[in-house]
Chain A
Amino acid sequence: MIPVDYYIIVSILLFSIGSAIVFTRRNILYVLMGIELIFNASNINLVAFGQFEPYLNGQLFSMLVITVAAAESVVALAIVIVLFKKLNTIDLSEIKNLKEK
């Protein structure tokens, strides 16, 4: 079987790539993709450590994370649509205020 260390290393790399996407890209859609990658890195860790636990709690928590990520994506897309309708841009450096003008 695969040692847990390998899962940890893959998950660390995935997390850092996702964080780099969140920090450096300016398009909102890229940032959302980076957040999904971070969620997936945490899921890999939960499932890898859940192998040692006979009551499947790691996998259950991972399931919770997946549904919360889906919900987050839905709300974020609704906000993106509203922003695009109001400001006609999805560039994060151009979105400066939340209040309606």
Chain B
Amino acid sequence: MTLIQIVFFFFSIQLLGSALVILFTRNVVYAAIALMSTLLGVAALFVIAGSDLLAVVQLVVYVGGVLILLLFGVLYTYRDPETYYEKKNILLSVATVIGISIALLFLLRDLAFDFPLLHASPFDQKGITKATGYYWITDKVVVFEVVAVFLLIVLVGAGWIASKVLEQNKRAQ
């Protein structure tokens, strides 16, 4: 077992363990912290698969943006500690996990996994991240334009949804 495989298994176990913590914990703040651990593990897997740029994007967007947003939601919807606790149904959760994984593995069993085993990542050469950035922002700029328009629509829509309710509340008072 080579070193890179040990690193891979370490991060896989970390991210799957954190995901199980989200499944089984009863405190939503713990779940948010475990989600951060999961996202960091996924970023590490991206680095092992040779896409450093995507790992950085994962850190910035997920850990810096989505997770903070979720924590804001947790704090905003705080009522009292009792509402954070819900009835555990461990058996149902475990059955769902095992059932779906076995079903997917069964579906994938017939596929021939004869992908070539890469001995070095094709993206390991020097300056590949810079080249990737140039390639994306020149040849593939359409994708980024679509995403930009989409994000603008989402921002305006989310602000509109939230502000309408705030206005109604102000009028009601």
Give the interface of A toward B (CB within 8 A).
1-10, 12-21, 23-27, 29-30, 32-34, 36-37, 40, 43-44, 47-48, 50-52, 54, 56, 59-60, 62-64, 66-71, 73-75, 77-82, 84-86, 88-91
A-B contact count (CB 8 A): 217
**Would you call the interface of chain B mostly helix, strand, loop, or mixed?**
helix
| Cα(A40)–Cα(B169), bound, Å | 37
Residues of B at the A interface (CB closer than 8 Å) are 4-5, 8, 12, 15-16, 19-20, 22-23, 28, 31-32, 35, 38-39, 42, 45-46, 48-51, 53-54, 57-58, 61-62, 65-66, 69-70, 72-74, 76-77, 79, 83-84, 86, 89, 92-93, 96-101, 104-105, 108, 113, 115-123, 132, 135-136, 140, 143, 147, 150-151, 154-155, 157-159, 161-162, 165, 169
- Determine how close the nearest CB of chain B comes to the CB of A93; give it in whole angstroms: 10
Kindly name the residue among A20, A32, A62 whose own CB sees the greatest number of chain B CB atoms within 10 A: A20
